[in-house]
Amino acid sequence: MASIFSPSTVPVFFLLVLVLLGLGETRDPFACDPKDRATKNLPFCKVSLPIRLRVKDLIGRLTLQEKVTLLVNNAAAVPRLGIKGYEWWSEALHGVSNVGPGTKFGGPFPAATSFPQVITTAASFNASLWEEIGRVVSDEARAMYNGGMAGLTYWSPNVNIFRDPRWGRGQETPGEDPILAGTYAASYVRGIQGTNGNRLKVAASCKHFTAYDLDNWNGIDRFHFNAQVSKQDIEDTFDVPFRMCVKEGKVASVMCSYNQVNGVPTCADPNLLKGRVRGQWRLNGYIVSDCDSVGVFYTNQHYTSTPEEAAADAIKAGLDLDCGPFLAVHTKNALEKGLVTEGDVNGALANTITVQMRLGMFDGEASAQPYGKLGPRDVCTAAHKELAVEAARQGIVLLKNRGPSLPLSPRRHQTVAVIGPNSNVTVTMIGNYAGIGCEYTSPLQGIGRYAKTIHEPGCTNVACSNDKQFGSALNAARQADATVLVMGLDQSIEAETVDRADLLLPGHQQELVSKVAAASRGPTILVLMSGGPVDVTFAKNDPKIAGILWAGYPGQAGGAAIADILFGAANPGGKLPMTWYPEEYLKSLAMTDMAMRPRRSKGYPGRTYRFYNGPVVYPFGYGLSYSHFLHTLASAPKTVSVPVHGHRHGNTTNISNKAIRVTHARCAKLSVSLHIDVKNVGSKDGSHTLLVFSAPPAGNGHWAPHKQLVAFEKVRVPAKSQQRVKINIHVCKLLSVVDRSGTRRIPMGVHNLHIGDVKHSLSVQAETLGIIKS
Ligand SMILES: *[C@@H]1O[C@H](CO)[C@@H](O)[C@H](O)[C@H]1NC(C)=O
Ligand SMILES: *[C@@H]1O[C@H](CO)[C@@H](O)[C@H](O)[C@H]1NC(C)=O
Ligand SMILES: *[C@@H]1O[C@H](CO)[C@@H](O)[C@H](O)[C@H]1NC(C)=O
Ligand SMILES: *[C@@H]1O[C@H](CO)[C@@H](O)[C@H](O)[C@H]1NC(C)=O
């Protein structure tokens, strides 16, 4: 950047001020530089023209050789047309991350706000929080882009269903429920992409499409796994978050996965990509492969016999961008062999370039654009850091509070023994797909703000392979007024490429917890850090363990939030976004068995609270508060009529005992509204999550989940007061179930709605309209 000052004449403090104000280096335009006379008047640079025409103009100018080099994440420059190279791969799962090569930290951008891992944030059940985090993350992403340190295309969020509790990447997801995951997806994507019409603040990507939730289990890895999935499970479980991400979140990208689904690699399946994502759901954006997926289905899966066929299959299936070099290397030969046409390649480029144009990348000076002024001072701001603490406070789940013993009191608990391998961790708290946090507050530091601490790790790390340090941990517990054990997992136990072998605390951790609890002078509180559920039946049942908190991976300020909850400065309101199964659940349960529904004859238990009915340690949706909330139903309809088109073929005179195809119903605006009064009868202000479950009429037992979440709403209720909450339930979307052939139907009859202990029967009836042709 040219400067009118020569460096030697500029006082150092002035340079510093420039950097602090974010007026330091800004990147040169990606394309259409107003200083470049050769290109600035070309139609594709004309901001006044519709994007469709600009894209068409640009593609018309590219040579075939140039085109194929734009099909990959590390897209080449086209200097002839004033277009720079672009790295598509950046990540922002819960804060700007340095996992992808598109983003680096350093210079004026040493760090970014690192929010809690998604599984923790999901536990808040607060859609406005999810959107707010997205807004903050995209402010920081734009600031880093302007400073030349990041891209504008982020391959987040991960919205796969947390199907099996062993999955190492379950931590990245919003949990096991499709509606929860879909609502998270749509909210985070709206936050990160902005809602300025067709323009994008940054572009998100919902991944990994689909049925991707196994990394490496029992010798089977994600690169070779063929997920056998029924049409029924696809429609009512695996597709739901992606459909909501595309249709409600209007995401700018979907990523296909490594695995095969029913024998076809997802990135080579035209039914999935062209058919469903682009055709049915109308993705306005690009489809990208997981990194080297195309290479993987050729090299590892031997799905095609030549690399050219693999390249052609991917493009013809609807893939627009390859993460990895494969398409840049093999597409030209595939074209020459006639396996794919230049028209197919143009279609892919139109999808990627359109997103770049919607991002403003062809609009000249970045600094002149809506987000052009964001810079270093907009990253790690006080407000952003406060939101990170707040998100952790909202996501932490109180699982046990015997007595109650919590919250602790700074007056009565002046000395706290802080024990455990996770008691003074920093980067453990940010989980995976993280960046560099602005600053960290460990649990030890957080608790230190309220009490004098005696710190004893008890074990060197979470593997906790011996009891050598137990003696000093027990001594600390004997001396203190209260004991907090911070235990659990980290990325050595659950991570990308690492699925868990069991659900127990690793090594000697359980022994440490029990021995410390037995020795403690004051109340013992167990704080768990983990992405996946942990079988802590022993602690649940141990009367010496007064309280249990699950913190997930609570982000850069996790220790502050944990301490705020332990000492009652914050009232916990998180709810588990996944079932906590006992270890026995895994007995002869292959992680590779994708079926959601139980097969009782085979002893197969089914998966997630929607289908599994056996014993649990803590159920989906569980979480306590320091207050007590009561629900009453203020008003709710007893019946709802579904207008149904008659049918020339088939008998519609008696449909009272049937399940009507959603496609035969008039669904628009067909919803029921519940009004629920939530009363806080405790003495502390608090937030409460209303979870509305529906149990469809009996008689469809072989189809339907025994219950499913149809709506949730978080509400803040001051102590001793009451709030009325209105909840709308879209009848066709939410009260429908899916039959064995994958068809969505609305069962006629009584649907039982449960909101906490309130039950309401809603009778769903058909109302036949005129006969139409089928
Ligand atoms: C806790 O961790 C911090 C930061 O990593 C470190 O500076 C401090 O010495 C640790 N405290 C104890 C008591 O180990
Ligand atoms: C339709 O069902 C009704 C009642 O079950 C029956 O009376 C009627 O005969 C049926 N009509 C046809 C065309 O099958
Ligand atoms: C329609 O089905 C219901 C439930 O099976 C039955 O009780 C009723 O008698 C039937 N009505 C006619 C007209 O067949
Ligand atoms: C949801 O999160 C937002 C953002 O932190 C917060 O302002 C709001 O109070 C939360 N809602 C409830 C009901 O707690």
**Does 428 contact ligand 1 (Cβ within 6 A)?**
no
- Residue whose pair of structure tokens reads 């893939």 in the numeric block: 319
Q: How far is CA 629 from the centre of its chain?
A: 28
Polymer length in residues for the chain: 774
| CB contact set of 602 (below 8 Å; sequence gap of 6+) | none
326 and 475 fall within a common domain: no
pLDDT of 231-287, one tens digit each?
A: 999 999 999 999 999 999 999 999 999 999 999 999 999 999 999 999 999 999 999
577 and 690 fall within a common domain: no
| Residue 202 or residue 6, greater confidence | 202
| CB contact set of 411 (below 8 Å; sequence gap of 6+) | none
- Per the rule left: phi > 0, alpha: psi between -120 and 50, beta: everything else, 619 is beta
209 and 267 fall within a common domain: yes
Binned at pLDDT 50, 70 and 90, residue 704 comes out as confident
Whether residue 366 has pLDDT greater than 90: no
**pLDDT score at 657:** 56
348 and 403 fall within a common domain: no
Distances from the Cα of 699 to the Cα of 4, 658, 746, 748, angstroms:
80, 9, 13, 10
How far does residue 128's CA lie from ligand 4's centre (Å)?
7
The answer to the question of residue 468 being in a domain is yes
Q: Ligand 4: which atom is nearest the Cα of residue 391? A: 5
Domain boundaries, position 275: 7-378
CA 83, CA 75: separation in Å to the nearest integer? Answer: 10
**pLDDT score at 669:** 86
Q: Which amino acid is residue 719, in one-letter code?
A: A
Q: Can you give the CATH number for the domain in which 511 is found?
A: 3.40.50.1700
Binned at pLDDT 50, 70 and 90, residue 605 comes out as very high
**pLDDT score at 394:** 98
Mean pLDDT over 120-139 rounds to 98
Whether residue 712 has pLDDT greater than 80: yes
Mean pLDDT over 217-225 rounds to 96
Mean pLDDT over 585-599 rounds to 96
Q: Which ligand is nearest to the CA of 132?
A: 4
Which of 353, 378, 403 lies at the terminal end of a domain, its last residue? 378
CA 587, CA 637: separation in Å to the nearest integer? Answer: 44
Q: Is 445 exposed, middle or buried (0-12, 13-18, 19+ CB in 10 A)?
A: middle
pLDDT of 52-78, one tens digit each?
A: 999 999 999 999 999 999 999 999 999
CA 278, CA 350: separation in Å to the nearest integer? Answer: 13
CA 362, CA 177: separation in Å to the nearest integer? Answer: 40
Mean pLDDT over 3-26 rounds to 44
Whether residue 5 has pLDDT greater than 60: no
**pLDDT score at 19:** 44
pLDDT of 504-534, one tens digit each?
A: 999 999 999 999 999 999 999 999 999 999 9
Q: Which ligand is nearest to the CA of 129?
A: 4
**pLDDT score at 700:** 58
- In total, how many domains does the chain have? 3
Whether residue 98 has pLDDT greater than 60: yes
Mutate to test the pocket of ligand 4, among 131, 676, 715, 716 (most ligand atoms within 8 A of CB): 716
Nearest to 577 by CA among 176, 241, 170: 176
CA 547, CA 559: separation in Å to the nearest integer? Answer: 17
Q: Can you give the CATH number for the domain in which 678 is found?
A: 2.60.40.10
pTM (2 decimals)?
0.94
Q: Which ligand is nearest to the CA of 656?
A: 3
Which of 568, 602, 636 lies at the terminal end of a domain, its last residue? 602
The answer to the question of residue 774 being in a domain is no
Kindly report the number of other CB atoms within 10 A of residue 592's CB atom.
14
**Does 761 contact ligand 3 (Cβ within 6 A)?**
no
Whether residue 20 has pLDDT greater than 60: no
**Does 651 contact ligand 3 (Cβ within 6 A)?**
no
**Does 657 contact ligand 3 (Cβ within 6 A)?**
yes
**pLDDT score at 651:** 52
202 and 299 fall within a common domain: yes
**Does 305 contact ligand 3 (Cβ within 6 A)?**
no
Q: For 300-366, where are the alpha helices, taking DSSP H only? A: 307-317, 326-336, 342-358
Enzyme catalytic residues: 290
Mutate to test the pocket of ligand 1, among 419, 442, 486, 556 (most ligand atoms within 8 A of CB): 442
How far does residue 580's CA lie from ligand 4's centre (Å)?
26
pLDDT of 337-357, one tens digit each?
A: 999 999 999 999 999 999 999
Q: Can you give the CATH number for the domain in which 92 is found?
A: 3.20.20.300
pLDDT of 180-211, one tens digit each?
A: 999 999 999 999 999 999 999 999 999 999 99
- Residue whose pair of structure tokens reads 């809602």 in the numeric block: 195
Whether residue 647 has pLDDT greater than 70: no
The answer to the question of residue 386 being in a domain is no
Binned at pLDDT 50, 70 and 90, residue 14 comes out as very low
pLDDT of 309-341, one tens digit each?
A: 999 999 999 999 999 999 999 999 999 999 999
368 and 404 fall within a common domain: no
The residue nearest atom 9 of ligand 3, judged by CA position, is: 654
> Measuring from each residue's beta carbon to the nearest atom of ligand 2, which residues come in under 6 Å?
651, 653-654
The answer to the question of residue 687 being in a domain is yes
How far does residue 618's CA lie from ligand 2's centre (Å)?
49
The answer to whether the CB of 746 falls within 8 A of the CB of 763 is no
Whether residue 710 has pLDDT greater than 80: yes
686 and 596 fall within a common domain: no
58 and 196 fall within a common domain: yes
The answer to whether the CB of 154 falls within 8 A of the CB of 90 is yes
299 and 410 fall within a common domain: no
Distances from the Cα of 111 to the Cα of 105, 273, 593, angstroms:
6, 36, 41
Tell me what percent of the residues of the chain surpass a pLDDT of 90: 89
How far does residue 655's CA lie from ligand 3's centre (Å)?
8
The answer to the question of residue 618 being in a domain is no
How far does residue 765's CA lie from ligand 4's centre (Å)?
37
How far does residue 380's CA lie from ligand 1's centre (Å)?
22
Binned at pLDDT 50, 70 and 90, residue 365 comes out as confident
Whether residue 611 has pLDDT greater than 80: yes
Mutate to test the pocket of ligand 2, among 653, 657, 771 (most ligand atoms within 8 A of CB): 653
**Does 444 contact ligand 1 (Cβ within 6 A)?**
yes
**Does 656 contact ligand 3 (Cβ within 6 A)?**
yes
pLDDT of 395-422, one tens digit each?
A: 999 999 999 999 999 999 999 999 999 9
212 and 259 fall within a common domain: yes
Binned at pLDDT 50, 70 and 90, residue 4 comes out as very low
The residue nearest atom 4 of ligand 4, judged by CA position, is: 129
Binned at pLDDT 50, 70 and 90, residue 772 comes out as low
| Mean pLDDT, the chain, whole residue set | 94
